[in-house]
Structure 1
Amino acid sequence: MRLQVTHDTFYDYAPAVETAQHLAYLRPLHSAYQQLLSHTMSIDPPPAQLTQNLDVFGNLRSFFSLDSAHETLRVVAKSVVLTSARELPISTLSWEGTQNYFQYQSGRHLDKASEYVFSSPFCPRHADFASYARPSFGPGVGVLDGAADLMRRIYTDFTYESESTQINTPAREALVQRKGVCQDFAHIMIACLRALGLPARYVSGYLLTQPAPGTVKLQGSDASHAWVAVYVPDLPEGDRWCDLDPTNNRAGWHSPGEDYVTLGTGRDFADVSPIRGVIHGGASHTLTVGVTVEPLLDDLSLPPLPPFSPMAPGGASQNQFQA
């Protein structure tokens, strides 16, 4: 599916911000399973500095700074992405076998996915997460089967309620109240999997705004979305991440569906927040975010973007960047 994504972020400051530095994660991933056909990012007012590089998780991040007073800031990212979908693969590895695979043993090869077994700021270790996860992981249950069952239980047990949590609401609090938004459900599921010694990562992205005729609009569209990927060691190397969306009970290999756009991956939301920064001034502000994902005609004349090449330090000073 060929999708066009527009992510419009607008800040209104009072009083004016004197100087600011920001990090943005707004460029969708480009891979064998999701081709990025075009991408632009406009910034108003124009930044004094704009540089880009890859973070440790393989996401492209943009750093920009503003060195003059400004009362507003608008960042608009537009992307065209070719998505695909594959059903969950067959795995014969049990969850206990996966747990053992990631336990340290002298001389054993260290899988890079090991970093996703440990706690992170938004996904702490707590016995409550292990207690909630265990009914899905009986003796000998496959790691992928157990993760899919956990996804379905969160989808069934929890209520999607947009005003029930804040961006910094602890995952354990959302677990107790059994309601939240996609970010909460992703953090809960990740914390549950890690509590059993299973690697899981946070996926930031988008959902198709308008569903196909006769289908139900998914929760989390019209905004940034979040879901989970679990690592399955017995799958082919390079194809071991399986995506599960507990907000909508959707799952697939590398993506829950072709109506999903993957923006970035990390340990939790803190690693791939769309925009964050430090400002001097602007004691108060209002934030408005608009996201639209819409299908385009099946005109595939645009070639995929070439592999990313980081800009040199102190890169271009401009108000529009094309990746």
Structure 2
Amino acid sequence: MRYAVRLRITYDYPAAVTDARHLLRIRPRRETDQFVRNVAVSIAPRPEEQRGETDFFGNPVDAIAFFAPQTELAIDMRADVSVERPAARLSETPEIERILAETCAVRSLDAGSPLHHLGPSPRISGFAPLSDWVAETFETAKRPAGEAVMALARRIREEFAYRPGSTVVGTSVAEIFAERRGVCQDFSHLMIAGLRARGMAARYVSGFLRTDPPKGQPRLEGADAMHAWIEAWLGEDCGWVGFDPTNGIAAGDDHIVVAVGRDYEDAQPIAGTFVTSGSQETRHFVDVVPVA
């Protein structure tokens, strides 16, 4: 499936901002199942410094800096992307015990290694009630791991309410689990924490979700903003496989990958520091349109 993707992020500052530096992770990744024909990023006002780089996990990054005072910032990204992601054969994935053994045998520490995604990370930590809850879902080590992970994604979809505005960026996994509500970022953190608690490697994915569903299918949650889902490492043969707990589905051609990391901290669309006073207003606009 081919898409025309547009992301627009704007900031309004009540007091002038000075000495601002940002890292933008908004360009779609180039992967074996995702082809980026072209991508363009425009920024207003124009940064005094701007350079492209790639972070440790292979995410494209725009590093920008402003030194003159500014009261607003507008970032616009447009891309032409094709996604051809084969449906994962979850019933043919190894049993969980085999995947745990293969994970322990991994020696590589490159960007795609599962070893980076096993323990706690800045925004994710496990706790006993969540581990027990996930154990109920897995129920038997003889079940194919892919099916068990899919069952966990569906259970999150069924038992947790999608409520924009009910959480903030810093809401903990424990709070999400207790309140049973949140948004895609929260559900992704919850699922990652649960999988890691059971010894499985899982990573956070930031990206876009198709806004125009196929005829006869329901519109997916989280389609009007940048979306988040997870990837679980299902062994040497299967590698990283995507799951969307917000919608209770496997990641497919509707999901466009922008960045991956241990959690939101590694994949956030815009990060950085600046000097100002008072609050700020931000708006996000996302449009993902299938191209005939």
TM-score normalised by the chain length of structure 1 = 0.85
Contact 2:205/2:230 (CA < 8 Å) preserved in 1?
A: yes
Distance 1:141 1:95 in 2: 7
The amino acid that maps onto 1:18 is: T
The amino acid that maps onto 1:95 is: I
Listed one character per residue, the Cα deviations across residues 222-256 of structure 1 (whole Å, up to 9, x for unaligned) are 10100011101142xxx5111110111111xxxx1
Distance 1:139 1:83 in 2: 33
The amino acid that maps onto 1:277 is: G
Q: SS state of the match for residue 233, structure 1? A: coil
Aligned match of 2:226: 224
Distance 2:200 2:158 in 1: 22
Distance 2:53 2:277 in 1: 28
Aligned match of 2:121: 120
Contact 1:93/1:234 (CA < 8 Å) preserved in 2?
A: no
Distance 2:247 2:232 in 1: 16
1:3-14 alignment runs, 5 A limit: 3-14=3-14
Q: CA deviation at 1:128?
A: 2.1
Q: SS state of the match for residue 104, structure 2? A: coil
Contact 2:103/2:235 (CA < 8 Å) preserved in 1?
A: no
Q: CA deviation at 1:198?
A: 0.3
Aligned match of 2:104: 103
1:294 corresponds to 2:289: yes
User: Per residue, is there more helix in 1 or in 2?
Assistant: 2
Structure with higher Rg: it is 1
Q: SS state of the match for residue 9, structure 1? A: strand
Q: SS state of the match for residue 227, structure 1? A: strand
Q: CA deviation at 1:213?
A: 2.8
Q: Percent identity?
A: 32
Aligned match of 1:244: 243
- After TM superposition, the runs of 4+ consecutive aligned structure 1 residues lying more than 6 A away are none
Distance 1:45 1:228 in 2: 34
Distance 2:108 2:56 in 1: 17
CA RMSD in angstroms comes to: 1.5
1:69-88 alignment runs, 5 A limit: 69-88=69-88
Q: SS state of the match for residue 209, structure 1? A: coil
Distance 1:114 1:281 in 2: 39
Aligned match of 2:208: 206
TM-score normalised by the chain length of structure 2 = 0.94
Contact 2:38/2:81 (CA < 8 Å) preserved in 1?
A: yes
The amino acid that maps onto 1:247 is: T
Listed one character per residue, the Cα deviations across residues 40-63 of structure 1 (whole Å, up to 9, x for unaligned) are 000101001101111111101110
| Structure 2: runs of 5 or more not aligned | none
1:178-217 alignment runs, 5 A limit: 178-217=180-219
Contact 1:116/1:267 (CA < 8 Å) preserved in 2?
A: yes
Distance 1:52 1:92 in 2: 38
The amino acid that maps onto 1:272 is: A
1:46-65 alignment runs, 5 A limit: 46-65=46-65
- Which residue, out of 155, 158, 177, partners 1:156? 158
Contact 2:92/2:144 (CA < 8 Å) preserved in 1?
A: yes
Q: CA deviation at 1:92?
A: 4.5
Q: SS state of the match for residue 87, structure 1? A: coil
Q: SS state of the match for residue 114, structure 2? A: helix
Listed one character per residue, the Cα deviations across residues 167-202 of structure 1 (whole Å, up to 9, x for unaligned) are 111111111111111111100000000001100011
| Structure 1: runs of 5 or more not aligned | 298-323
Q: CA deviation at 1:129?
A: 2.0
The amino acid that maps onto 1:32 is: T
Q: Which moved more, 1:41-50 or 1:123-132?
A: 123-132
Q: SS state of the match for residue 103, structure 1? A: helix
How many residue pairs align between the two structures? 287
The amino acid that maps onto 1:101 is: E
Distance 1:118 1:110 in 2: 16
Q: SS state of the match for residue 147, structure 1? A: helix
Distance 1:76 1:139 in 2: 47
Distance 2:145 2:216 in 1: 34
The amino acid that maps onto 1:230 is: A
